[in-house]
Amino acid sequence: MSVHTERSDAAAAAIRHHYDAGNDFYRLWLDESLSYSCALRENPADTLEIAQDRKLRYHLDAIDAEHATSVLDIGCGWGAILERSAKAGVDRSVGLTLSPEQAEFVRSRAYPGVEVRTESWVHYEPDTRFDGIISIGAFEHFATPDDSPEQKIGVYRDFFTRCRDWLEPDGTLSLQTIAYANMSRDQASVFMQQEIFPDADLPTLAEITAAAEGLFEVRSISNGRLDYAWTCEQWARRLRANRAEATELVGADVVARYARYLKLSALGFRMGKIGLLRLVLVPYRSGFFTDHPVRSA
């Protein structure tokens, strides 16, 4: 078994551990779009729905989805980006997820021009290039706690290399990820590492930029950690309001675990221990598009 296959299998198991708690459970505390990632809050009066819709529009605008014919969503979740890309008239949208429950949910919606695959980016081999690639909340799952910093950068560079090769020459990658900030891996919560996101390790900004060097130009970068603190607090409030129903669905232990995870996450973002990076990246124009095939090695 290859290192890539072992890593992909571990990631898939970790994703199922977290995301397959059941669609009905997540519906109790996420917004209507089932966006399970940081919202984009601009006004104190924003509702979770408004802030999540703004986040989705931010990423679609970053890749100019209105003029795109093909879009790839790496870590598509329950398909909020795919739904909006279909509504924007994108001819072909492909979503990758490691959660069978998420994939089945997206397929049940039958969005026009949308294909969802239960597959890792490590194994994905597209036949054609994309005008834009969006990845929201997946990057955190690419590396493991056992990886050295050099190994992490290697994994991230593999990801960026594939994204570069999959994009049209004038394409754009919009990436959103949690990252270590004023905290090291050794200071991370054992509870979070073992019970919430097993076999996952956050990147640092330095690791991301080192991995993208020579492949992508960073057009913009922002830190939305306070947005994510607020998002987690909104989720926690909704979970508390629906605790009885949630307990019936998944049991008291699971509800308590999620409540603790949301509280710790909000605190980590408030304290600056972790951040939320939004990066817009474009491939360097160096003629490599004639040198690299679309299919990955």
Per-residue pLDDT of 106-162, as tens digits, reads 999 999 999 999 999 999 999 999 999 999 999 999 998 889 999 999 999 999 999
- 289 part of a folded domain: no
Backbone torsions φ then ψ of 116, nearest 5 degrees: -120, 140
> Which domain covers residue 130, as residue numbers?
3-283
pLDDT tens per residue, range 242-266: 999 999 999 999 999 999 999 999 9
Q: What's the pLDDT tens digit per position in 152-161?
A: 999 999 999 9
Q: In this structure, is residue 268 part of a structural domain?
A: yes
Taking residues 228-238, report their average pLDDT.
98
Domains in the chain, number: 1
Residue 23 in any domain: the answer is: yes
Sign of CA dihedral 60, 124, 211, 38: positive
**14 inside domain:** yes
pLDDT at 54 over 90: yes
Residue 293 lies in a domain: no
Q: What is the pLDDT of residues 7-48, one digit of tens each?
A: 555 554 554 544 557 899 999 999 999 999 999 999 999 999
- The helix or strand, by DSSP H or E, that contains position 84, with its residue range, turns out to be helix 80-87
The answer to whether position 89 is within a domain reads yes
Instruction: Examine the pLDDT at 294 and tell me if it is beyond 70.
Output: no
Between the alpha carbon of residue 74 and those of residues 37, 84, 137, 166, the distances in Å are 13, 15, 9, 12
Strands of the sheet with 274-283, listed across from one edge: 114-118, 92-97, 70-74, 130-136, 167-180, 274-283, 216-223
- Whether residue 295 lies inside any domain: the answer is no
**Residue 58, domain member (yes or no):** yes
Closest residue by Cα to residue 25 from 97, 103, 102: 102
Say what the pLDDT of residue 189 is.
Answer: 56
- We report the CATH number of the domain holding residue 55 as 3.40.50.150
Token code pair at residue 273? 């221990």
pTM of the model: 0.89
